[in-house]
A = this chain, B = another copy of it.
């Protein structure tokens, strides 16, 4: 189940042709600029559902082309804590651009494809393009903000609020991708949601069904419909 990079099928492709260009590293670039960085050719990698990619080397980040994945910390002290779920357009490995020991892994929740971005290569082409550096810094900064937001969610005492925050978070992720923000399919299990939120899978299940009884959502298996997003948001405000 462990996926070695060397075993994987990789292909060169052109950044300017990437369907994710507008939300990826190359975002905010106009066509002229996009053509300029055509020389940023890089590989892509396919990961099948449930396969695991152990991240060890520090010179690479990954952009999700399609699919969905979970990022989990690999530590003896901490039982495989999931810190993030990633959808297309998101970057993986921003937490790994330094020398301190820090192991984590990427596991595909469905068949997925990542593009492999060599950070030195990115450095090279951004040397005379300061806006690229700025843009990359902004992406990293947003990542920190996201983590802080998650920290605040995990401090919300009630499990109900955690689950609601999770649903709204997934909703906004799908919205960003241009999909319906009220009607989506969860790619992860109740157990994985629980891991992510710091609660048990039974509690996740109970709360989802409670929210359904309260007519705020509809949930059948992993199909979610948010019936009343405003009411959900209000729940986060209460006391």
Interface residue ranges, A against B (CB under 8 Å): 73, 75-78, 81, 83, 94-100, 102, 104, 123, 127, 130, 133-134, 136-145, 147-152, 154-157, 195, 198, 236-237
Q: Known contacts A98-B138, A99-B138, A145-B98: does B73 contact A152 (CB below 8 Å)?
A: yes
User: Can you list 22 A-B pairs, Cβ within 8 angstroms, ordered by A?
Assistant: A73-B148, A75-B152, A81-B155, A83-B148, A83-B152, A95-B145, A96-B141, A97-B137, A98-B139, A102-B145, A104-B148, A137-B137, A137-B140, A140-B140, A140-B144, A143-B144, A144-B144, A147-B148, A151-B151, A151-B154, A154-B155, A155-B195
Q: How far is the CA of A1 from the CA of B130 in the complex (A)?
A: 39
Mostly, the A contact residues are: helix
Partner of A151, one of B81, B133, B137: B81
- Assembly of this chain: how many copies? 2
Chain B residue with Cβ nearest A96: B141
Q: Which residues of B contact A156 (CB under 8 A)?
A: 78
Q: A189: shortest Cβ distance to chain B, in Å?
A: 16
Q: A8: shortest Cβ distance to chain B, in Å?
A: 24
Q: Which residues of B contact A77 (CB under 8 A)?
A: 236-237
On whether the beta carbons of A81 and B152 are closer than 8 Å, the reply is: yes
Q: A144: shortest Cβ distance to chain B, in Å?
A: 4
Q: A197: shortest Cβ distance to chain B, in Å?
A: 8
Chain B residue with Cβ nearest A148: B83
